[in-house]
Amino acid sequence: MKTLIDLLFTEKHRLTARRRALEVLHELCTSRDRLSLYVDAAARELPSILLEVDEDEETVVFDIPPEVEGVSWDGRSDLLAVARYEGVYVGFELQDIQRVPWHDATALRAVLPEEVYYLQRRQYFRVPVGRGHVSPVVLVRQGAGELTGNCHDLSAGGMRVLVSPVDGDFALRAGERLPELRFELLGRPLQTAASIQHVDEPVLLPNGQSLLPLGLQFLEKSFTFDQAVVRYVQQRDRDLLGGRH
């Protein structure tokens, strides 16, 4: 889950329109979708739901999370809230939390979040791959030597890989077609054609090695290839949401 939180709570996914951010909070409240709450030191999610969004008082009210496998809210710390509804991840921070009466019970009230983060899970949303899930990726080029790279993240439509360019070959550029891309996914051999969508700035490793990040789009996918990748991405997404790495 830490991977998802690190991805979601970034400037890139912050809703800049305040009205839209409030609309999302109201939608969560109306739908009563589950909130996954995280204390800074907690490795597991604490379930809750959003009960009220009060713009006049600038507060939100949510259900008290139960203890889960020995992890509980300490009554002082801020909480990170993550919810998933209609194919979207939503995140916000809950601060200045207090216990309050709520319909003959007790709930928690926090300051109306200043920032709301919204991660659209498009048809081809990407997931970081698990250790050992994807073998080294072989990129076959026309008129140049094959490259071998490591997959960083994967979607139904493509992947991001880190490669070591071969000295003497022509430079890798966006738009280059790769007649063949080969890798194993959970031990299953897969291959397809691909194209380079973008070439990012090199990454320098501590040992001095330079790696080039490439964004690849799958082309001419077979049904077998597509189904294998889609199943993996969906299962990996569920595992990450559930805190399984």
> What pLDDT shows up at residue 7?
77
**Residue 161 DSSP class:** E
- Same structural domain for residues 63 and 138? no
153 and 93, same domain (yes or no)? no
Same domain, 80 and 116: yes
Would you say 83 and 89 are in contact if contact means Cβ atoms under 8 Å apart?
yes
Q: Residue 167 is part of a domain; what is its CATH number?
A: 2.40.10.220
Query: How many Cα neighbours within 13 Å face the side chain of 181?
Result: 28
Write out the residue range of the structural domain in which residue 103 sits.
2-120
Instruction: Identify which of 71, 28, 67, 84 has the alpha carbon closest to the alpha carbon of residue 51.
Output: 28
80 CB-contact burial (10 Å; exposed 0-12 / middle 13-18 / buried 19+) = buried
- Res 5 pLDDT > 60: yes
Last residue within a domain, chosen from 55, 85, 120: 120
Q: Is 175 helix (H, G, I), strand (E, B) or coil?
A: coil
Residue with tokens 């070959």: 169
Tokens of 46: 């604490």
91 and 141, same domain (yes or no): no
Single out the residue in 89, 120, 151 at which a domain terminates.
120
Q: Which CATH number characterizes residue 80's domain?
A: 2.30.110.10
How far apart CA 61 and CA 84 sit, in angstroms, is 18
**Which pair of structure tokens corresponds to residue 204?**
């320098």
Q: Is 138 in the same domain as 110?
A: no
pLDDT digits (tens, 9 = 90+) for 87-115: 678 999 999 999 999 998 999 999 999 99
Q: Is residue 75 a contact partner of residue 62, using CB atoms and an 8 Å limit?
A: no
Q: How many domains does the chain have?
A: 2
Are 106 and 132 members of one domain? no
**Is residue 111 domain-shared with residue 181, that is, in the same domain?**
no
**Is residue 41 domain-shared with residue 132, that is, in the same domain?**
no
Q: Which tokens sit at 59?
A: 């507060």
Percentage of the chain modeled with pLDDT above 90:
50
54-73: burial string, b at 16+ Cβ within 10 Å, e else: eeeeebbbbbebeeeeebeb
Q: Show which of 120, 136, 161 is a domain's final residue.
A: 120
- Which pTM value belongs to this model? 0.52
* For residue 216, pLDDT beyond 90: yes
Rg for the chain (alpha carbons), in Å? Answer: 22
